[in-house]
């Protein structure tokens, strides 16, 4: 697949050097105006959710909103509680504002590579929602952007599990050998259909506003959603898959271009085999989302809601999440902007996205997809 169209108007490359952040006080003019100024690009449901967390943080304020559609801008301003935020239809005009320190990018996934590149060129700190792209071309663009980024600027992605306390604790126990040697892993995202397709008279508007229904815009649900699980596998296994095989189809949701169920088997180094299963057709009220890591002496279950450590048949420890871990990810991002302790995870996030693209390739083409053949040495 190739990136299609553009949600926002194209212009020439922005010069980032003149906008480089020297220090919080210099950029924000004075101590009295020292809050991190954040712009939101893509003011739909997820973007508004992220930005509301930003705006509630005492260190930051949302000062600008961008979207193509007026109704989304109005709804976002209310949800975020940012009535004085400046409104934009053109994301490049938002990026050109010297008053904005950081941006949240929450547009449809096919736009992430282009908009991340523009934000980095404009000298902004960036929190970009997952995935890193919908195809190999886009993922490569994200990697190249990350390598060219000002070393004083953050590039973070919305892989929230990396910042959730329950996941951090599970990872610590795995690395300490508390379940013995890792022998097997699995992941799953079994849930209801999260999408509601809305009709619009203009076919172009219909496609953009229902972007999730189209492969070229969303990358299919394994890329748009299941990249979360696959990022956890990337993190905990600390390696990339050698190959993948799988099957998928449309049994219920036949009005969209994307699959509604899939199953995959990945082979990782050291003989580790990982099963992954997902669907978006389960009945409302049933949900099973997370990962399992089986060791020679124990097992760890991970999810956004909890970690469960099976030490023995009668010794099972549970650690519950105290809140949605999106809060942890965004608070960590703002903390790094404030402290200067920079994180650039563009390449790591791009590689996690390729886990999903590898699996999608195996399913779409009904064959064994080998990492080396599809992506070369990326992630090696």
CATH of the domain at 23: 3.40.50.720
Note the pLDDT of residue 189. 98
- Which pair of tokens denotes residue 207? 């496609």
Give the percent of the chain with pLDDT over 70.
91
Contact 105, 131 (CB under 8 A): no
Contact 14, 117 (CB under 8 A): no
164 contact partners, CB below 8 Å, separation of at least 6:
304, 321, 325, 328, 329
182-190 and 288-295 beta bridge pairing: antiparallel
Between 27 and 130, residue with greater pLDDT: 130
Asked if residue 53 has pLDDT above 70, the reply is yes
Asked if residue 132 has pLDDT above 60, the reply is yes
Same domain, yes or no, for 340 and 226?
no
Same domain, yes or no, for 175 and 277?
yes
Asked if residue 20 has pLDDT above 70, the reply is no
Note the pLDDT of residue 33. 66
Q: What's the whole-number mean pLDDT along residues 151-157?
A: 98
Q: Would 11 be classed as within a structural domain?
A: no
Note the pLDDT of residue 171. 98
Q: Would 351 be classed as within a structural domain?
A: no
Helix axes 326-339, 45-56, angle to 10 degrees: 50
Q: Domain total for the chain?
A: 2
Q: Please report, for residues 136, 202, 219, 235, 339, the alpha-carbon distance to residue 161 in angstroms, rounded to integers and kept in the order given.
A: 24, 38, 21, 10, 22
Q: What's the whole-number mean pLDDT along residues 2-27?
A: 39
CATH of the domain at 368: 3.30.360.10
Encode 122-153: b = buried (16+ Cβ within 10 Å), e = exposed.
bbbbbbbbbbbbbbbebbbbbbebbeebbeeb
Same domain, yes or no, for 103 and 242?
no
Q: Would 122 be classed as within a structural domain?
A: yes
Residue 93 to residue 288: CA distance in whole angstroms: 42
Note the pLDDT of residue 12. 35
Same domain, yes or no, for 231 and 275?
yes
Find where tokens 């508390």 sit: 178
Same domain, yes or no, for 68 and 199?
no
**Of 18-32, 44-58, 119-133, the least confident:** 18-32
Residue 275: domain span? 162-323+356-375
Same domain, yes or no, for 186 and 96?
no
At 9, the pLDDT band (50, 70, 90 cuts) reads very low
Model pTM score = 0.91
Q: What's the whole-number mean pLDDT along residues 328-354?
A: 98
Note the pLDDT of residue 214. 98
Asked if residue 19 has pLDDT above 60, the reply is no
Same domain, yes or no, for 337 and 369?
no
Q: What's the whole-number mean pLDDT along residues 163-186?
A: 98
Q: What is the pLDDT of residues 222-248, one digit of tens each?
A: 999 999 999 999 999 999 999 999 999
Asked if residue 22 has pLDDT above 70, the reply is no
Q: Say how many Å lie between the first and final Cα of the chain, rounded.
A: 23
């Amino acid at each position: 697949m190739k990136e299609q169209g553009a949600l926002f108007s194209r212009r020439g490359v922005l010069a980032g050097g003149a906008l480089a952040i020297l220090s919080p006080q210099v950029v924000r003019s004075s101590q009295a105006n020292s809050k991190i100024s954040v712009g939101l690009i893509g003011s739909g449901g997820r973007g508004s959710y992220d930005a509301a967390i930003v705006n509630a943080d005492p260190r930051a304020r949302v000062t600008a909103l961008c979207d193509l559609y007026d109704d989304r801008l109005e709804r976002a301003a209310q949800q975020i509680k940012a009535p004085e935020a400046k409104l934009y239809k053109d994301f490049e005009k938002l990026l050109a504002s010297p008053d904005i320190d950081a941006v949240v990018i929450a547009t449809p996934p096919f736009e992430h590579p282009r908009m991340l590149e523009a934000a980095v060129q404009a000298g902004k700190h960036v929190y970009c929602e997952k995935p890193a792209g919908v195809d190999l071309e886009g993922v490569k663009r994200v990697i190249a952007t990350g390598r060219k980024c000002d070393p004083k600027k953050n590039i973070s992605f919305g892989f929230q599990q990396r910042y959730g306390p329950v996941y951090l604790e599970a990872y610590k126990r795995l690395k300490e050998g508390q379940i013995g040697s890792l022998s097997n892993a699995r992941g799953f995202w079994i849930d209801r259909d999260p999408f509601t397709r809305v009709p619009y008279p203009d076919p172009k508007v219909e496609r953009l506003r229902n972007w999730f229904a189209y492969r070229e815009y969303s990358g299919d649900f394994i890329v748009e959603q299941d990249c979360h699980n696959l990022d956890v596998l990337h993190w905990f296994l600390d390696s990339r898959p050698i190959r993948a095989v799988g099957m998928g189809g449309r049994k219920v949701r036949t009005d969209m271009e994307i699959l509604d169920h899939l199953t995959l088997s990945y082979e990782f180094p050291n003989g580790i085999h990982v099963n992954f299963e997902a669907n978006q057709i389960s009945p409302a009220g049933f949900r099973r989302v997370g990962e399992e890591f089986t060791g020679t002496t124990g097992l760890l279950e991970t999810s956004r809601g909890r970690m469960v450590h099976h030490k023995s048949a009668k010794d099972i420890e549970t650690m519950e999440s105290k809140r949605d871990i999106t809060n942890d990810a965004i608070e960590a991002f703002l903390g790094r902007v404030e402290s200067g302790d920079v994180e650039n995870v563009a390449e790591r996030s791009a590689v996690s996205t390729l886990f999903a693209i590898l699996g999608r390739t195996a399913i779409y083409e009904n064959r064994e997809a080998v990492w080396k053949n599809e992506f070369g040495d990326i992630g090696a």
